[in-house]
Amino acid sequence: MTVLTDALLAEIRAEFPGFAIRKKRTSLLQKGIHVALVAITLGGQRSYMTRYHTVLWGTLWVPDAWDAMADDARYILLRHERVHLRQRARMGDAWMSFVYVVPFFPIGLAYGRARIEWEAYVETLRATAEVHGIAAAEGLRAGLVERFTGPDYGWMWPFPRAIHRWFDEAIRDLRAEREG
């Protein structure tokens, strides 16, 4: 049963009528991005096609694992991806692509990408707390620090203490939302 997912997909499609979900394996562009990421990260990012979900131009590109995801996991993921859809609507495709890839450097210090992902991961934390509790959201810390500072996103923000501060602030805000 996909009660959470179906309800959220209806909201997303109402907000973004052209929204679609497609398999990464069916796209030459997604395969090309995968090859480029493997090369650029010197093999550090090899799971783009199998573990990562990607919003690009109003389409959510999913790995085959999407079919086996539990309803709550899909719901949390879709909450994150809806933030990217809203960022795209706010910024436009060209500007969002530029901000995601260029400032300051595509690899090693990608401030634009980090800011875009911080906003979306706050929603991941919020959705996780709503579905599984605040302790589950707090349990995402190590994985998110690694994701920001490691090859998954091209070492986009190589300052773990800054990521910990961002995480602490996000959890503090979530607690405040839940309390009042």
Per-residue pLDDT tens over the stretch 77-125: 999 999 999 999 999 999 998 898 887 777 888 999 999 999 999 999 9
**Token pair recorded at residue 116:** 């875009």
Q: How far, in Å, CA of 155 to CA of 178, rounded?
A: 32
Share of the chain above pLDDT 90, in %: 74
For 126-141, how does the pLDDT look when each residue is reduced to its tens digit (9 = 90+)? 999 999 999 999 999 9
Percentage of the chain modeled with pLDDT above 70: 99
Helix (H, G, I), strand (E, B), or coil: what is residue 94?
A: helix
Give the pLDDT of residue 145: 97
Closest CA to 100 of 86, 84, 83: 84
Please check whether residue 37 is in contact with residue 150, taking contact to mean a CB–CB distance below 8 angstroms. no
What's the mean pLDDT when you consider all of the chain?
A: 93
**pLDDT (tens digit per residue) in 30-73:** 999 899 888 888 888 888 999 999 999 899 999 999 999 999 99
pLDDT in tens, 152-163: 888 999 999 999
Q: Is 133 helix (H, G, I), strand (E, B) or coil?
A: coil
